[in-house]
Amino acid sequence: QQKVQQSPESLSVPEGGMASLNCTSSDRNFQYFWWYRQHSGEGPKALMSIFSDGDKKEGRFTAHLNKASLHVSLHIRDSQPSDSALYFCAARRHYGSSGNKLIFGIGTLLSVKP
């Protein structure tokens, strides 16, 4: 079973709109989260990480984590066509341990229409 579940699989929003992506870890051992973005033809790039309950804001991007439910979301306000990409949620078991692995969800394909 996939340890990290994402929804929706695809999402289309108008330019200037709000995009909301969801992610849940089914394994309580994996509770440190990252959001990665992958444009076509490139590798994934880390957008932001979140480890504590509540919101974390970086520019137009806001991540929210609920540790009790192991649910994390990513909200993109004022979406731009350049935000169109695959977005992956990734989770790790520990933050500081050198040997632990990063597990990815299946991704959400975001399309921002001009």
d(CA 67, CA 53): 6
User: 45: exposed, middle or buried (C-beta count within 10 Å: 0-12, 13-18, 19+)?
Assistant: exposed
Count of residues near another protein by CB under 8 A:
22
Q: Which of 88, 91, 110, 112 binds another protein (CB under 8 A)?
A: 88
CA 45 to chain centroid, in Å, comes to 11
Residue 99 CB partners (closer than 8 Å, separation 6+): none
Instruction: Give the whole-angstrom CA distance, residue 74 versus residue 42.
Output: 21
> Stretches 11-19, 61-69, 74-82, 104-112: which one binds another protein (CB under 8 A)?
104-112
Residues 33-72 interacting with another protein (rule: CB under 8 A): 34, 36, 41-46, 49
Residue 22 or 100 having the CB closest to another protein: 100
Which residue lies nearer to another protein by CB, 13 or 86? 86
Find how far residue 90's CA is from the centre of its chain: 7
Question: Considering the complex, what minimum distance in angstroms separates the CB of residue 16 from another protein?
Answer: 27
Closest approach of another protein to the CB of residue 32, in Å: 11
Interface residues with another protein (CB under 8 A)? Answer: 34, 36, 41-46, 49, 86, 88, 95-99, 101-104, 106-107
